[in-house]
């Protein structure tokens, strides 16, 4: 298990392990509650474990304060046809409310930026809910810029099934 040292006293970041599936699921539920989307959580710890650690469909970092898990970042790689390079895409970053304001979220972002640089990624991207001012303030502070002229498109449920059936 790889561990990363940070500049925050007592705060370390480590790669998630298979035995972390329940912990990760609990953190995901915390994120969903914060985003007012708890009813949208459909998965379970076993599905998460299988897809993350057997299927290797995404990667997760866990941030710990003195050995206590307090945050996570789930990411995966995408590809830019214009840059002809892969990119690092942050799907979710969550810091438990009682641990916010200590720089842990910024440390997680810096760790991912370092990973992106080491792996020659062309970019590091994520999306953020437009009402999440605390997160948006952090992103502006580190130099992230909002993209304009793009909207996120999504197919789920029956529309996804219908399109697949049309093939």
C-alpha pair distances (Å), 160 with each of 28, 85, 165: 24, 28, 9
Q: How far is residue 109's CA from residue 5's CA, in Å, rounded to a whole number? A: 13
Please say whether the beta carbons of 64 and 70 come within 8 A: yes
Residue 38: which H helix or E strand, with range?
A: none
**Close Cβ partners of 166 (under 8 Å, ≥ 6 residues apart):** none
Q: Which of 75, 89, 104, 139 is catalytic?
A: 139
| Strands (DSSP E) found in 26-67 | 59-65
Identify whether 104 is a catalytic site residue. Answer: no
Active site residues: 139
């Amino acid at each position: 298990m790889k561990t990363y040292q940070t500049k925050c006293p007592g705060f370390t970041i480590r790669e998630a392990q298979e035995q972390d599936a329940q912990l990760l699921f609990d953190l995901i539920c915390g994120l969903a509650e914060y985003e007012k989307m708890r009813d949208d959580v459909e998965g379970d710890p076993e599905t998460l474990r299988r897809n993350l650690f057997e299927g290797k469909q995404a990667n997760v970092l866990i941030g710990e304060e003195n050995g206590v898990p307090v945050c996570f970042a789930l990411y995966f790689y995408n590809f830019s046809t214009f840059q002809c390079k892969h990119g690092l895409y942050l799907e979710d970053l969550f810091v438990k409310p009682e641990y916010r304001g200590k720089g842990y979220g910024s440390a997680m972002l810096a760790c991912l930026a370092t990973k992106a640089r080491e792996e020659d990624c062309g970019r590091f991207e994520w999306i953020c809910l437009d009402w999440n001012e605390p997160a948006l303030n952090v992103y502006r502070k580190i130099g992230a810029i909002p993209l304009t002229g793009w909207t996120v498109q999504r197919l789920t449920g029956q529309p996804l099934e219908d399109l697949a059936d049309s093939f």
